[in-house]
Each structure stands twice: as C-alpha cells, then as structure tokens.
Structure 1
Amino acid sequence: MHIQGDMIIGRQAVRGSAGALRAYNPATHAEMEPAFGTATEADLDRACRLAEQALDAYRAVPLEQRARFLETIAEQILAIGPVLIERASAESGLPTARLEGERMRTVNQLRLFAKVVRDGHFLEATLDSALPQRTPPRPDLRMRKIPLGAVAVFGASNFPLAFSVAGGDTASALAAGCPVVVKAHNAHLGTSELVGKAILAAAIECGMPEGVFSLLIGEGNQIGADLVSHPAIKAVGFTGSRSGGLALMRIANARKEPVPVYAEMSSINPFFLLPGALAANTQKLASGFVDSLTLGVGQFCTNPGLVIGLEGEAFNAFCVAAAEALQAKTAGTMLTAGIHKAYVDAVERRAGIEGVQLLARGGEQGAGCAAQAALYQCDAATFLANPALEEEIFGPASILVRCRDEAEMLAVAQHVEGQLTATIHATASDRALAGKLLPTLERKAGRILFNGFPTGVEVSHAMVHGGPFPATSDSRTTSVGATAIERFLRPVCYQDVPSELLPEELRDDNPLGLARVVDGELTITA
C-alpha cells in the first residue's frame, strides 16, 4: 500500500485542494513526503452529508454483518504489514516495539466490539407487556437503543493507531451503528491514510453503505470547528488537551441543535504511597514509578504526575531512589515539535514556583524533540495553595508531595480535580488509611488501582478510561472498553406498535435470540 497524500470521502480516495500539508519527523526535524491535500468546505460537507445519508442503511445492517465489518477492518490493518509501523514510527518518534503493541491493541479493540455487537446486549432490549385489565390500563411498551447518528472523531497525537483513525472512538461508534467522519491528526498524515484506506477496503468488501466512513485532512482549528458545527454530526469523540476539548464543547453547545462531545482532556493521576508499602518495597516502588512516568516519554494520559506520601524515613528513601532511577533515564523523542516546546516551557515554569524544588533531571537532552525527564518535590501546604501545581505537564514530569500526617494526605486527595486514575500502594498495615482514601478517590477518578501502575489500560468489558471533569467532559462514560459504545446510543420506546413494524430485537418470538428484560425478568426466550 502506497501513501498518496489522499483523504477518504465516501468510497473515494480524494486529493484535497484547499492547501497542502506534510508530515514531520520529530527525531530528525525533517518534513516527509508526500504532500497531503487539505479539505475544502465542499469536501467536509460532502463527507458529513454522505454519513448522514448512510445512517439508516448502516444501522439496519444485521448485527452479524456489522460485527464482520469490524473484524475485517482489523484484518485489513494487519494486512498493511510493516509499512504501517515504519511510517507511524517516522511520524511519531515512537519505537517499533511500542507501535507493534499498539497495532495489536487497535486490532483487539475492533474484535472486542465485534463481540459486543454479536452479543446484542448493548441494545438493552426491554419489553413490558400490556395490562389492559389494570386500572389504569398499561399499554404494550418496548424499548431498545439506537445510534445517535454521524460521529466526528478527532485523531489523537499520542496514540497514532489506538486512539486515532481506527481507534476506540471509531470502533465504538461503528459498533453502535453510527457512520464516522474522522479528522486526521496532522502529526500522523501518512499513518492516517494507510489506516483510512484499510477501513475503506473493509467497507467495500463487507458491502457497507457509502458514507459509513470518511477521513478528512486540514490545517488549523477551523476544520475541527466546521466539522463539529455541521448539522449532520450528532456526537463528537476527542482525545487531547483541556483547551482543545473545551473549545469543541463550546462549539457543540452553541449549535442550533447542541450535540454531546465526549472529550478526554487532562489528568495527573495521583499516586498515593502509604507507609507500610513504602517500608516494604522502597526500591521496587521507585523504579516502577519512574518506568511508568517515562513510558512513551511521559506522553500517556495516565502517567503518574503527582505522588503523595507521608513525611518520614521511608518517603525520604523513596525520593532518593526515584531521583537516582530518573537520572538514569535517557532523553526520548517527543511526538511533535509543538508538544516538545510546551513541555520545556511547562518544566521551566514549575521550577520557578516558590516552595517547589527540583529533585532530579533525566539524561541530557539530545537532538530533535528529545525531552529530559523532571522530578520535583514540595510540601502539601505548597501544593494545596498553588493551582498551577495541578496542571498537567504532558511529558515525563512529576511532583512528589510530602504530607505531615494522614489528615493532610486526605486533604490532598479531596483537593485534586477529576482524574482518569488514582493509585494506592498499601500493605495490610495500611488498610485503615486506604479505607479512608477510597471513598474520596471513587468520587475523583474513573479507575482506582491498588499496588500497580496506571499506564497500562486494558481493553476489556470492565475497563473504565474516563472520570470527572477535567479528565473527561462526561464522567458517566469511558473511551476504552466495551461500555464505550454507550456514548453513541440513545433509548427509544415503542408503545403499542404493530408486531410487523417492530424491530427484530423487540418482537415476541425474539428471532435474534437476545438476552432481554421481559416484564422485569432477564430472559433469552421468546
């Protein structure tokens, strides 16, 4: 498969004519070929209108055929072969092994959603029988969930495969029965084209309606604003900065018909080290923490940017061990020049905050967009008094916060904003303090870990990758895991509808063999 500089609109590879963009190699500071044409207003409108027109045909596709479509996308992505990994590595600076793992995560989440579609539980088919003899009589009521409509998806910078063109937002929207229009991230233009053409090939092979998928390329913020503003778009999936997510939310809310924006935005992932765990595992905790912090050059939305412990010898020993481990980490290439500059500026600002001390820096900064890790420390009073210390630094930087006592640790837990994750390291001797922390952290985070590290996000049925604002724009949802499909569905109730007009999942004979709730009882029989 060769990269041509194309977008995908409906069933066609299209060369945009509004301008030209080139991808950029962050390791060498070199632009890459070919040039990519950018979308005109007419291109964007056509992609959105085709998606709108495809909705009813696509949502009527039998569940088995929809599931097979998702599996075929996975197969087509694998069929691209090493070309995909080579291009993604050149555009992102990420190593081959990391990207090979990310490709399998992308494939596996498509396969997971294929299973979700086949099971049909996401439809939540519910039947309440008519009770004509009751006073007052109850009508025949049946409910299922249907897709919201066309979904706009924004590719993320830090996961060129798993959170991009065929990432979790696209997979869950397609699984829900929603056509998708993707705005490619400008850092991954070649990677996006390769994956976009894989989805197109799968759509053609599986006989999907034209417009079920389109891929747009554009420069600046205007194309994103125009996409979210388009009346055909009924929901938005976004992973990125807080400022970017809030901007899209404002646009979506200002429309004549406001639409939901599911934005994953900002998290510093507090990491609580309780005394017993510190005393038992100082070196192991320090090395594990630094590995998690610097994984992917700190460009994970779940890297531990805030560590909280109680003052004392155990926490002092942890700080020394963490500093030594961090100093041994070499500088790594960041995803883009813009991300690198923002990281360098943020590290410098933090170093200038009164009451904050620089504890350690990683290996010397090399050529290109290489980032030197940074570790800071302060006391809890300084942290609580300075909102800037809660700001996410997107990169390998973290701050260690010393608490005088348990009350101050609990105050820090209560103080932090909404998070994707919160981690507690504890032994049996720490259970009382852990029990005090847990209710607060349940209100603060979408995922709570014990004795682990937050940077691994499993793609599964039980995973939650979401959380209260500003971690996400809607704390009721997740962008990873099977329940991500729920973002793009809404319930419809059918009252006294003739049986021949009912959808299959709500018919008395249950031809799809779905698990349903009938008169309040879970059943798979008619």
Structure 2
Amino acid sequence: MNTRTLDRRRSGAAASAAAAGAALLFAQASHGRRAGLMDAIGAALDDARAHLPGLAAADAGITADAALRQHDALRGWLHALSAALRRAELAALAPAPEAVRTVPLGPVAAIGPHATAYGLVGVHALAALAAGCPVLATGSAAQPGAAVLADLIGAAVAACGLPAAAFTLLPADAAGVAALLAHHALRAAISRVGAAPLPHGASLLLLAEADGCEAAFILPGALNGRAEHLGQLLLAHGGPGVLAAAVDGPGYVDLRETIVDAATDHSFAEIACAKVLAQPARAARGGRLLVRCADPAELLALAAALAPQHCASLHLGPADAALATNLLPALELTARHIHINRIGGALLPSPAGAIDAIGRFRRPVFHHPA
C-alpha cells in the first residue's frame, strides 16, 4: 500500500465531509469529462493487466484465470459506461422538448466485504462515479490488490482534473462504516452483500443488491440433464455469495454430491426450503447455500421470498417451459437482471445495462417558473 492510499484512509466522518465538499464541483463535470474518467481508469487497468489479476487471485485464493475474467469484465463495464456518457453528451446538444433534467444523487458509500479486489468497485460503484457522485469505498487491509486498484482510480481522478474526494478508500472497520453511514452528507449506500443495517434516523437510498452474488434456480429438466456440470460451475463461482435452489429428486442428489459433499473450500451448505421461507434472513447472509425444495411450489415461493438481487439465473431444459413461465414473474420482482442458462452473478456489460446503472445514481429536478 503506497503513500497515496494511506493519505486517502481517513475517518468515515472526515471522508464524508470531503466528499460533500467535492460533490458540487463533480456534479458540474460534463458527460465528456466523466467519460474521460472512465477511459482513464480503463487505460490504467490495461496497464495493470499483467500483474493485478495475479495479486487479486492471491488475495482471494482463487485461480489467476478467474481473477483475469473479473479484470476484463470490469474493463468491459468501463467501456460501456464511457460509451453511454458520450451518447448522452451528444443527445444533450439537442435535447428533446420533453427531456427531464437530472442531477447526481451526491456522495455514495460502497460498503460490505468484497470477495476479490475487483469487488471494491463493482458495477454500482463505477456507475455512481460515471453519474457524477463522489464514491466512498470501504476496503479490506488484508487485500493489497484492492489498495492497488484504489490507487489506479485515484490517479485517474487526478489526471482528469477532478476533485480528489471523487473517490476515497476507507478502512472497513465497523465504527468507521457506522460513522460513514450516519453522516448527513451521504445520499446513498451500495451494500455489496445485500441488506445492510442503517443507523437510526438515516434517510438513505440503499442499493441492497449484491453485485457478484448469484441466485441460481435450477429447474428439473436442467437438473436431470446436467447436474454435475452446473455444480462445477457453481463451485467455480467467484462471487461473495451463491444460492442455488432446486427441487429434490435424482438430479438433485447428483448436484448435492458435487457441491455439498465436495471436499473443497468452496463447498455449499444445504438447507431445506421450508426453513428459508420461515426465516428469509437465512438466505441473506452471504456464503454458499444449496436450498432443497420439496416441490415446484416451494421453488416459486422461494423466488418471491428472496431479498432484492442484482442478478439471478434460471436454468431450464425443453421440459421446463411451463414451470419457467410460472417462475419468471416472481423472479422479475426479485432480480433486476436474469440470466438464462448462464451461471455468473456479474452482469455482462451492455449499452442498456450501462444506461440503467448510471440512471440509478441520478435524480430528476424540475424548474417551475413564476
């Protein structure tokens, strides 16, 4: 960890005050300047591609290939966010009559544990920066890769002539996080592992959607046809939390043997769906969980009971069409993005996804003439 990182490690209250002081200046940065910031961070990632994934892999105990995929996914999101901002810049030159003016929310905190260094700034935190919101990210001192990534972002902010407090790295200690969340200047918080307790009286927008987590619903046809393959993909998932739900039966036994009985550091704990439905918080604690559903009705009930998810996945075969049709409406109310027959909680970069991500950190403002 170098001097620049140490300089940014200040108390939650002091960092919030600095971010509040930078908020107006950062909010006035044009679409083009914010796109330039995304490009500068992306260029820094390109320069670090030879060494940062290896450092992140060593920090988190995952393979270098898995860390490299996360590196490239982050790079892809930076490109998508930059492109979205440049399109918005062109549109602003000739706004439509019905166009609504929007402004950044203000300082945003990114809190909670991150499985790898790349989790320090997931899609939400990058989108908040792209939207013009100062970001205060808590990071673990046990992950040197996170400090390196924070330094890359800080250097990009400086190179673009933007306020230094546009991005701040904070220690992840409980007292500091509590002070951060309680500060009057904070406008929103991103919880990396879902729901997070807010201080009494705090009025914050909380994005309680775990970016990089997976809620995988495996329907009977898919389960019977490729249980072991899906199990291997679940074991290889690098996110901070994975929940896999399936209906009990022959295919379920194969899945259980692959991900619960496996003697690895990434094996799953098994729980009956009835227990999760009785206490939904059991599914909101992170970790790796295999939920055994007694029948399709329990699978549907579980989808409705889960806390908000950024991404979920639905795995089905040809015989699962009717069940999938019934499950999708409940899953759509739970998850913002749904992957079909793909495991991987990290959302793939896309133009629509970038626009949506930025929009979550801006709000409309209306001028009313006398």
TM category, shorter: 0.7 to 0.9
Q: Which has the higher contact order (CA 8 A, sep 6+)?
A: 2
* Pair 120,415 (structure 1): closer, same or farther in 2 beyond 3 Å: closer
Is 2:237 aligned against 1:237?
Answer: no
How far 1:111 moved relative to its partner? 1.7
TM-score (norm 2): 0.83
Cα shift at 1:72: 0.4
Shift of 1:362: 0.7
For residues 145-194 of structure 1, what are the alpha-carbon distances to aligned partners after superposition, in whole Å with 9 as ceiling and x for unaligned?
01111222226422321x31x43233111111112222223442x22221
Counterpart pick for 1:416 among 305, 309, 317: 305
Is 1:56 aligned to 2:9, yes or no? no
Aligned to 2:367: 494
Q: Secondary structure at the match of 1:438?
A: helix
Q: Distance in 1 between the 2:95 and 2:116 partners?
A: 35
Shift of 1:491: 0.7
Q: Secondary structure at the match of 1:293?
A: helix
Give the one of 222, 245, 262 matched to 1:362.
262
Higher-Rg structure is 1
Match for 1:321 among 254, 274, 278? 254
Report the RMSD for the aligned CA atoms in angstroms.
3.4
How do 1:313-392 residues align onto structure 2 when only pairs under 5 Å count? 315-316=249-250, 318-326=251-259, 361-363=261-263, 370-371=265-266, 373-374=267-268, 376=270, 382=274, 386-387=278-279, 391-392=283-284
Alignment of 1:273-288 (within 5 A): 273-274=219-220, 277=221, 282-283=224-225, 285-288=226-229
Aligned equivalent of 1:78, options 16, 28, 46:
46
Q: Please list the CA deviations of residues 67-103 of structure 1 after superposition, one character each: whole Å capped at 9, or x if unmatched.
A: 1111101111332344423332232112211111111
For residues 96-495 of structure 1, the aligned pairs below 5 Å read 96-120=64-88, 127=97, 143-154=100-111, 156-161=113-118, 163-164=119-120, 166-188=121-143, 190-217=144-171, 220-240=173-193, 242=195, 245=196, 247=197, 250-251=198-199, 254-255=201-202, 258-264=203-209, 269=215, 271-274=217-220, 277=221, 282-283=224-225, 285-296=226-237, 299-301=239-241, 303-308=242-247, 315-316=249-250, 318-326=251-259, 361-363=261-263, 370-371=265-266, 373-374=267-268, 376=270, 382=274, 386-387=278-279, 391-392=283-284, 394-403=286-295, 408-409=297-298, 412-413=301-302, 416-418=305-307, 420=309, 421-427=312-318, 429-453=319-343, 455=345, 457-463=347-353, 481-495=354-368
Is the CA contact (8 Å cut-off) linking 1:155 and 1:185 kept in structure 2? no
Q: What is aligned with 1:31?
A: none
* SS of match in other structure, 1:56: helix
Unaligned runs of 5+ residues in structure 1 are: 17-38, 129-141, 310-314, 327-359, 464-480, 498-526
Return 5+ residue gaps in structure 2 as ranges. none
Instruction: Provide the TM-score with structure 1 as the length reference.
Output: 0.61
**Number of aligned residues:** 365
For residues 229 and 162 of structure 2, the distance between their equivalents in structure 1, rounded to whole angstroms, comes to 46
Q: Is the 8 A contact 1:236 1:262 kept in 2?
A: yes
Q: Describe the shift of the 1:172–1:125 C-alpha distance in structure 2 as closer, same or farther (beyond 3 A).
A: farther
User: For residue 136 of structure 1, what is the aligned residue in structure 2?
Assistant: none
% identical equivalent positions: 21
Q: Secondary structure at the match of 1:398?
A: strand
Paired residue secondary structure (1:211): helix
- The alpha-carbon deviation at position 290 of structure 1 amounts to 0.4
The one-letter amino acid of 1:260's match is: L
Structure 1 window deviating more from structure 2 (76-85 vs 173-182): it is: 76-85
Change (3 A) 1:92 1:374: closer
Deviation at 1:412, TM superposition (A): 3.6
Shift of 1:456: 5.5
